[in-house]
Structure 1
């Protein structure tokens, strides 16, 4: 059996904390694997610096050098057919893959990389330069959103191939459809509870709830994290209408989707959002803002612009809550979209059709 070496410098798929990065990393490993090809997670070294800390970046570079030497020694006698790195960017550059591939003569592929030349100055300057160099070294880069393609195409070196790989769920078929038009069903929101972008989305949710006119609305929130207290404070004015479900596993989330009327998440700075895919696969209509990345995974429709604020989101939710038939229609359309473009089979076909020339057509 031939093998693919897989590495995720941002967050390994084995990380104990759930997140979109972890979920999509696992999905990628499932999509690349076939009856004849195994996918090996060759390193769990996390090279993420979220603070712009020069000392931390130096420490991570030292760890990466040692890990590179280890992998060259290990893989040199048992070469994989291909190296794939997931989510190389300025806060988590791939400091390992390019060196290993250059030494062992392996094809080097990246998935969901982003370029940020504006970061070549400032606290992440060195890491940003390393991320740019890693992307320059890639034979092929798969982009998962139209937003990432803009800079990847602009700064692409000669000979590099760019390929679309729409975000997908790691399953071959759709789950059973929920009856989102049923009476008394809650609005469902789901997201990690942490500072900055996630907390900003929760703040927009609170602003939106204050403007809802439907008299029977109630909200379920799935998620947990270090900003739980801040989220609870935001929701305090709606005591009795908001229920915290905590962190749910896959079965728990499936049950929440099955019971909901709609899924609501504004999507501040989301890369794309795995929960949007899951909710739509279950047949839920989605209320979100029209943001880069997010729009790549939403069924066609009218989504409020961020500048339209909470008022536009409240109008969209009220319209859905007051019209069960509309919920069912939009949920069914979303479900069809996921089935057509965002499941495991289509992702596997896209990946192998693209990389076949790099690996001699083996699949």
Structure 2
């Protein structure tokens, strides 16, 4: 079991080690122009004050040695919307954005740049926010919530002139994933799907979803039926209950929120699924460390996510109905 002290030690070593190796190796390259879905934004000098509207955006800001002026509350019962893996790096008190975006709240933090590449902001939001500071919206060709974790980290690193530091952290995570794949040759050719029950419907995460891509990199193969459902730029596809068989796989992840577990268990066709009959389902409660770390997919959450998720896959993929596969809350 991972304790809070272990997370604190991990974060401290990860941060200090990467910082010491790269602190003096970065070069200034401003003014910097970033092209994105709403046009382009120009950053004249290296930002000192960074606000974020991104879901989980504070994590990468902390990982690169900055204090976020704002955090956007997503889920989980944690102060300031900061989960345990990031708490050790937070030394300030950020403004917490909940519900609709409050322009005045953001303006009051006096940011040099506003990160919004995983925010879902509208063009109107972008125009209003741009009156406060340069805004980095979703890049061209990307869906609002489909930009891969490493590209998102590299974008922030480019804005902050922290590319070398970010790259060191990315390489560590890629090495960790490659080791998982190497150590589990039996996963080759085994299929998986990631699903949830939300707002009265079954939903499946598409091939463009960043967490789906992460699991793929560790050796599993996304179910061909889900691949066929995938539309560019969309991370999620809603299914009717009659289509439940499309997500049957060697390993089936369920993101469980609120009353979702009861709703999933009540699905009429679930008992007929191979994943159910052979104990291949993995329940990921919304308040669990592994769910949060995987959903956040940040430079400091992913090492925790991998450590939490891999043992669950090992249990689920054996096809033993007696195996209970679920993260503790």
Larger Rg computed on CA atoms:
1
| Category of TM-score, reference length = shorter chain | 0.3 to 0.5
Q: Normalising by the residue count of structure 1, what TM-score does the alignment of the two structures yield? A: 0.32
Q: Normalising by the residue count of structure 2, what TM-score does the alignment of the two structures yield? A: 0.34
